[in-house]
Amino acid sequence: MKVTVVIPALNEEKYIAKTLKSIREQTIKPEIIVVDSGSSDGTVEVAAKYADKILKGKKNIAYNRQIGAEEGTGEIIVTTDADCIHPREWLSKLIKYFDDERVVCVSGQTLPIKEEGNFLDFLCYFTANLILKAVNDLLGKALFRGSNVAYRKDVFLKAGGYDTKLIAREDSELTRRLSKYGKTIFDMNIKVYTSMRRRKNTGWLKTMRYYLDTPVSMLTGKIYYKKADDPEK
């Protein structure tokens, strides 16, 4: 089963090498596509050392995830972010669920990089992960994060892909629609670790409010656009 990992990036020179190294060291060897949205630093040069393809994107994360998925040759598309670190078994844990033909989408926890996170950071993220798992398991609605998600490409195309008009919550909006096509899994043992630099600027109270609000707003079917204090973008 061929896997493509899609990574949007903008001015991630300081982080993207660690991200891509952690993906290259996976037990499953994927195709790696980086979609750069106009970096002014050395992001593209660093990415070229590790990625199979580098695409020119826009300053719109939904568009960038979309063109990366379309360009990918894998049966399974995996997305993550350019400031995440991935345990060596990350991909194999995601992909094993697709042996069941009913499964269309799989996700897991996003947690702070241990060296960067404090107690409140871990509490905030862990609580958000529990909420996403509960919404998926109890209500059958996948509202997964783009930092740690895999889906079948054929179902992604059938569902219409990302809504490229959105500039926030494009990941949750897509996976909510994918829920209609089959089984979705949120496994707490599938983990990626993300940088806390944006959270430090936002503050954990606003970050927590954002993640608590996302399931409520997405379940009502409302379309949300980026606000000045959205911590995710």
pLDDT digits (tens, 9 = 90+) for 29-78: 999 999 999 999 999 999 999 999 999 999 999 999 999 999 999 999 99
Question: pLDDT tens for residues 145-204?
Answer: 999 999 999 999 999 999 999 878 899 999 999 999 999 999 999 999 999 876 666 665
CATH number of the domain that residue 134 is part of: 3.90.550.10
Q: Name 194's bridge partners.
A: 84, 112
Structural domain includes residue 226: no
Q: Which residues contact 56 (CB under 8 A, 6 or more apart)?
A: 35, 36
Structural domain includes residue 224: no
Structural domain includes residue 230: no
8 Å CB contact between 55 and 35: yes
Report the domain count for the chain.
1
Element (H, E) at 210: helix 204-219
Structural domain includes residue 233: no
Distance CA 209, CA 50 (A): 36
Distance CA 147, CA 80 (A): 4
Question: pLDDT tens for residues 100-119?
Answer: 999 999 999 999 998 888 88
Structural domain includes residue 89: yes
Three-class SS string for 123-177? HHHHHHHHHHHHHHHHHCCCCCCCCCEEEEHHHHHHHCCCCCCCCCCHHHHHHHH
Structural domain includes residue 95: yes
Using CB atoms within 10 Å of the CB of residue 190, give its burial: 0 to 12 exposed, 13 to 18 middle, 19+ buried.
buried
Structural domain includes residue 231: no
Structural domain includes residue 131: yes
Model-level pTM? 0.88
Structural domain boundaries, residue 146: 3-219
